[in-house]
Amino acid sequence: MKPGRFNLYLIDFSWLPILPLLIVAVAAIVVLLVGVKVDDEDSEGLGWLSLSSLGVALVLSLGLLGQPREVTFAGAIALDGFTAFFYMVVLIAAGMTVLMSLDYVAELKLPGAEYYSLILFATLGMMLMAAAGDLIVIFLGLETMSVAVYALAGMARRDPKSGEAAMKYFLLGAFSTGFLLYGIALIYGATGTIKLDGISDALSSPPSSPLLLLGLGMLLIGFGFKVAAVPFHMWTPDVYEGAPTSITAFMAVGVKLGAFAGFLRIFLAHLGAVHAEWTWVMWAIAALTMTAGNLIALVQTNIKRMLAYSAIAHAGYILVAMTAGDAASGSAVLYYLLAYAFTNLGAFAVVIALGGRGEPHDMISDYRGLAGRHPAIAAAMAIFLLSLTGVPPLAGFVGKLDVFSAAIDAGYVWLVIIAALNSVISAYYYISVIVAMYMDEGGAVTAPLASRPALVAAIAIALAGTVLIGIYPQPYMAAATTAFNSSLPSSAPRHALVLRP
């Protein structure tokens, strides 16, 4: 028996590589139990405890890089570079959310123990989806993440919009979960297994099973809701606006990371043999998602709603790469998600910074003249918005270039043309905020950042990531390529293993 393993009922369990999961799970329980003895006004220590636990899990995740692919827990958990990549990005996103929450929780008088514990449980669900080796673990991870985020969206109990956000998210989320679970059942009926490697083996020669196609359609609906793809996006603006801003940031980044981890693991890594069966549906969803997200964002006056529709549009850009369905597009999606995480978290951190003292200040008109009052905040927000637009040399530009190149190489030229036109449209509403900050007068008064060092640190980390990943993308693109290729089973079709130069 190898070190770090034990055998129970003839099932071989590898426990050392799942330590990041265990650390996050135990930390979530400990924070909740310790919080029983801590007043909400003194909950900052719980935040630091959560942040420390996420840091330990991140360090342990680094040890998984470069490890050979291993399927353990009777095929339920897949440990590979793909898992390690998403572990690290999800943990960074959760850590930055906790950082920007340390003062924000006290300002809104949120229950600290429940707040930080639920963030950790949601993070655990996202990590489970990244490490899933079968469809049931993907479902369990999705529900662990979703139930925690439902509660987090309604955490501001004194705000009616927060309760409305939680209720809408819960009802629509439960409805979409039914589609996902029914799709899993149909795929099991068509292939005879829930193991992803087993499904790949069963589909080595593409079948024409109506049961399989119906199951794929159900899975598309379930994942489409979680990534806010049109026409399953209607919950997004109301939930983003009503939830506490730090949780909105967590949903915009963390939920997308977890959902796309499962989405990629199933559709790109293990369903390559039936790529032709779902690619044109994905084509249509990508085009609709980009177009609807950007056009509706044009008329928004609330910055959280604008960023919500922006998140919908960015889901469409990611789906452009998924439409191509090869390894080049898979690695492009991983890089794009990394760039998107830093950029979007930074933008929401600035929204929190402009608020302060419990005042939301989330109207775009509140940003007028911000450059004159707080030039550092305005400059950071401008960089984040330019990155979301796709202006070089920032991370958003390289991410879009990588995604569009992968789709063009696969022959989806018209879809890339639609995506490029949508990027031009998005420039209008992103740059309108920059114009308000630098060319208009008035606006809201921002609380001093000197009294919120954790929030300053979150903005600085996001800014460094947005600039560094854009200026020096090669190591991150190489890591994304290696990570995605490690997720491919041995039975994957040859075209899925071709790397872009």
pLDDT tens for the 501 residues of the chain, in order: 444 444 444 444 556 668 899 999 999 999 988 887 776 666 778 889 999 999 999 998 887 777 777 777 777 888 888 889 999 999 999 999 999 988 888 888 888 888 999 999 999 999 999 988 889 999 999 999 999 999 998 887 777 787 888 888 888 888 888 888 999 999 888 888 888 888 887 776 555 578 888 888 898 898 888 888 888 888 888 888 888 888 999 999 989 999 999 888 888 877 776 777 778 888 999 999 999 999 999 998 889 889 989 999 999 999 999 888 777 788 889 999 999 999 999 999 999 888 765 566 788 888 888 888 888 888 999 999 999 998 888 999 999 999 999 889 888 899 999 999 999 999 999 999 999 888 877 655 555 565 678 888 999 999 999 999 999 989 998 888 888 887 777 654 433 333 333
| H or E element, residue 100 | helix 81-101
Bridge pairing between strands 70-72 and 77-79: antiparallel
pLDDT of residue 450: 56
Please give the Cα distance from 82 to 85 (Å, whole number): 5
Please answer whether residues 290 and 296 qualify as being in contact, where contact means their C-beta atoms are separated by less than 8 angstroms: no
Instruction: Output the CA torsion 271→308→470→88 (10° steps).
Output: -60
E strands, 120-233, are none
Please give the Cα distance from 498 to 501 (Å, whole number): 9
CA distances from 219 to 24, 226, 337, 422 (A): 28, 11, 21, 27
Please give the Cα distance from 257 to 334 (Å, whole number): 9
Overall pTM > 0.85: yes
The DSSP 8-state label assigned to residue 72 in this structure reads: E
The residue assigned the tokens 């492009």 is 332
pLDDT of residue 90: 94
pLDDT of residue 6: 45
**What token pair was written down for 117?**
């514990």
CA distances from 437 to 309, 393, 444, 448, 464 (A): 21, 22, 11, 17, 21
pLDDT of residue 446: 59
Instruction: Output the CA torsion 379→381→387→388 (10° steps).
Output: -160
pLDDT of residue 343: 94
For the chain, the 3-state helix, strand and coil shares in percent, each to the nearest 5, are 75, 5, 20
Please give the Cα distance from 461 to 93 (Å, whole number): 11
Please answer whether residues 50 and 119 qualify as being in contact, where contact means their C-beta atoms are separated by less than 8 angstroms: yes
Cis, peptide link before residue 237, omega less than 30° from 0: no
Angle at 252 between CA 251 and CA 256, to 5 degrees: 85
CA distances from 135 to 77, 366, 430, 489 (A): 10, 45, 38, 15
Please answer whether residues 302 and 362 qualify as being in contact, where contact means their C-beta atoms are separated by less than 8 angstroms: yes
Please report which residue ranges of 132-159 form alpha helices under DSSP H.
135-153
